[in-house]
Chain A
Amino acid sequence: MESVIDIRGLGLTFERDGRRTDVLQGLDLAIPRGAFIAIVGASGVGKSTLLRVLIGLAKASAGTVSLDTQSTERQPVALVFQDSRLLPWRRVIDNVAFGLEGRGLSRAERHAKALDALGVVGLAHLARRWPHQLSGGQRQRVALARALAVEPEVLLMDEPFSALDAISRESLQDELTRIWQATGKTILFVTHDIEEATYLADRVVVLAGAPGRTVADHAIETPRPRRRNDDADAAIVADIRRHLGSGHLGGGHLGGGHLGGGRPTPFARAA
């Protein structure tokens, strides 16, 4: 199958206070069109950084990323952040239409597309609300709609459900599966939750080490619809655990949070 994204020898080093830190090194990953790939790894292993490179928020210091894009749109990839990051001064519909601006579409055309995307996540009825009027799960659905609205070939998701309560998380996981099956989008889904990865993806790539590299790559062939914590995946889950050296960590969660203080923020300035 052809790859929509081909990552070869990707390395990323950033400097802070004169100290060089290698975040990623020699990372190879070919992403076939239409695949649902989960990337798991401990906090700080560089999985978010990988997405940031792909969306252009961070610059790779080594290797190549080739994007075989068929569309001529300016936005072949779109990112859903861990926190929804909706713009509080825009109504839901205008948040979803955000990425469509500057493409020569009229306001009515943008709103029509945005409403379609909102329909996909089941929130068309909340189009006129302000973000502060939504629940956490609804906000994250809107963020997903905002990414879908630009009709990207690849949807990048950075631990998008990790800040949600368990009920919202499970319903969004099922929603995402349905959307993936309906749209055939390529999805690259970063998580630190092994069960989430095996439940959602048809391939799980494990990043580990410092600097982060690919240490395991499993195909999940369990047919859909799937059950959570399916015994069929037990061997794979165990192998991922072993690779992550997570014997001392309970459950599927490998430490909480994001990349913490080590998160590279190229756009941040000394406050």
Chain B
Amino acid sequence: MALTETAALPAAPAARRAKLNVFSSVGLGAAGLLAFLLIWQAVPSLGLVNPMMLPGPLAIPAAFQSELASGMWFTAVTGSLSHYALGLVLGSLLGVALGVLTGMSRVAEDLTAWVVRVLRPIPGLAWAPFAIIWFGVTPSAAVFIITISVFWIVFFAAHGAVRAVDRDLLEVADAFGFRAAHEKLFKIYLPAALPGILVGLRTALGQAWMAVVAAEIFGVPGLGHRMIEASALLATDIVIVYMLTMAALYGLLDSLFLLGERWLLRWKA
């Protein structure tokens, strides 16, 4: 960028306004966050609420430091991330596979229609008793619960996306001699359904975090478990450390996902 040139020439009014808008929206966002933190800090500081019940934001860095120093934070985060990743991958793979199969095959769809109708309304967490009976209070139990939560979201997204694939494009495959199911799957169905499948995956990315916390509350080591431990000791500052940890991890993963999605769907107008 030629800075001198920019300084010498007055910026076009429209460009200047656009620049102003960017600054003002970032500024407003920062101001809002600051106000939120101030109010949050004021509530315990002014004695409106016992700091034991709601520690202010100023108390959080110290709590974070001590969790880091004791190694608890790292253990909890890696534990949860491994449940999360495994559950997400298993649930997504199963969801895409079955969703695509039932989307492509009328027989598979009819065959599974009533089973889906029975199992669909059961929330992932309702499987917790079985998860514990089958796997004990182990990471596998958490993975199982997360997998089920992710599965349904991805299954319906993939099924719907495959059903909506443009028949005209399938005819193109036929016209060029690609008539086998596997040829149509890889040449047409999967790429055409990808945007819809990605929407499901992104939703699942968020839902899986909920399932992580819920599954770990039953005692499987990880963020959720550490939060329950801390709350039993009324260490509310530690609880908040993990709440913010989850928000940060989710934010990071969602941003990475969006980057990947933008690249995968770069063919879109």
> B158-198 toward A: CB 8 Å interface, digit per residue (1/0)?
00000100011111101111100001000110011010000
From known contacts A132-B269, A267-B167, infer whether A85 and B172 are also in contact, taking CB-CB under 8 Å.
Answer: yes
User: Does B117 sit at the interface, judged by CB under 8 A?
Assistant: no
User: Does A171 sit at the interface, judged by CB under 8 A?
Assistant: no
User: Does B16 sit at the interface, judged by CB under 8 A?
Assistant: no
User: For the complex, what is the distance from the CA of A260 to the CA of B170, rounded to whole Å?
Assistant: 19
User: For the complex, what is the distance from the CA of A267 to the CA of B169, rounded to whole Å?
Assistant: 11
Residues A79 and B267 in contact, CB atoms below 8 Å apart: no
User: Does B106 sit at the interface, judged by CB under 8 A?
Assistant: yes
User: For the complex, what is the distance from the CA of A271 to the CA of B162, rounded to whole Å?
Assistant: 12
User: For the complex, what is the distance from the CA of A91 to the CA of B269, rounded to whole Å?
Assistant: 13
User: Does B268 sit at the interface, judged by CB under 8 A?
Assistant: yes
Chain B minimum-CB-distance residue to A130: B267
Residues A57 and B172 in contact, CB atoms below 8 Å apart: no
**A→B interface (CB under 8 Å):** 55-57, 74-75, 78-79, 81, 83, 85, 87-91, 98-99, 101-102, 130-132, 150, 265, 267-269, 271
Residues A57 and B174 in contact, CB atoms below 8 Å apart: yes
From known contacts A83-B168, A89-B191, A132-B269, infer whether A267 and B183 are also in contact, taking CB-CB under 8 Å.
Answer: no
List chain A residues, Cβ under 8 A from B171: 57, 81, 85, 265, 267
Residues A88 and B268 in contact, CB atoms below 8 Å apart: yes
From known contacts A89-B267, A132-B269, A268-B167, infer whether A79 and B106 are also in contact, taking CB-CB under 8 Å.
Answer: no
From known contacts A102-B183, A268-B167, A269-B106, infer whether A89 and B174 are also in contact, taking CB-CB under 8 Å.
Answer: no
Could you tell me the distance in whole angstroms from the C-beta of B173 to the nearest C-beta in chain A? 9
User: For the complex, what is the distance from the CA of A56 to the CA of B179, rounded to whole Å?
Assistant: 10
Return the contact of B175 from the options A55, A74, A89, A131 (Cβ within 8 A): A55
Residues B176 and A150 in contact, CB atoms below 8 Å apart: yes
Residues B267 and A78 in contact, CB atoms below 8 Å apart: no
Residues A89 and B187 in contact, CB atoms below 8 Å apart: no
**Residue in A74, A99, A150 with the greatest tally of chain B CB atoms within 10 Å:** A99
Chain A minimum-CB-distance residue to B170: A267
User: For the complex, what is the distance from the CA of A267 to the CA of B174, rounded to whole Å?
Assistant: 9
List chain B residues, Cβ under 8 A from A81: 168, 171-172, 175
List chain B residues, Cβ under 8 A from A90: 191, 267
Could you tell me the distance in whole angstroms from the C-beta of A39 to the nearest C-beta in chain B? 18
6 CB < 8 A contacts A-B:
A57-B171, A81-B171, A81-B172, A85-B169, A85-B171, A132-B267
Chain A minimum-CB-distance residue to B264: A89
List chain B residues, Cβ under 8 A from A130: 266-267
From known contacts A87-B169, A130-B267, infer whether A78 and B192 are also in contact, taking CB-CB under 8 Å.
Answer: no
Return the contact of A57 from the options B163, B175, B188, B266 (Cβ within 8 A): B175
Residues A78 and B176 in contact, CB atoms below 8 Å apart: yes
Could you tell me the distance in whole angstroms from the C-beta of B96 to the nearest C-beta in chain A? 17
List chain B residues, Cβ under 8 A from A271: 163
Residues A79 and B167 in contact, CB atoms below 8 Å apart: no
Residues B268 and A75 in contact, CB atoms below 8 Å apart: no
List chain A residues, Cβ under 8 A from B167: 265, 267-269
**Residue in B163, B169, B188 with the greatest tally of chain A CB atoms within 10 Å:** B169
Return the contact of A87 from the options B106, B172, B183 (Cβ within 8 A): B172
Residues B191 and A87 in contact, CB atoms below 8 Å apart: yes
**Residue in B171, B176, B194 with the greatest tally of chain A CB atoms within 10 Å:** B176
Chain B minimum-CB-distance residue to A74: B177
Residues A87 and B188 in contact, CB atoms below 8 Å apart: yes
User: For the complex, what is the distance from the CA of A57 to the CA of B176, rounded to whole Å?
Assistant: 10
Could you tell me the distance in whole angstroms from the C-beta of A176 to the nearest C-beta in chain B? 19
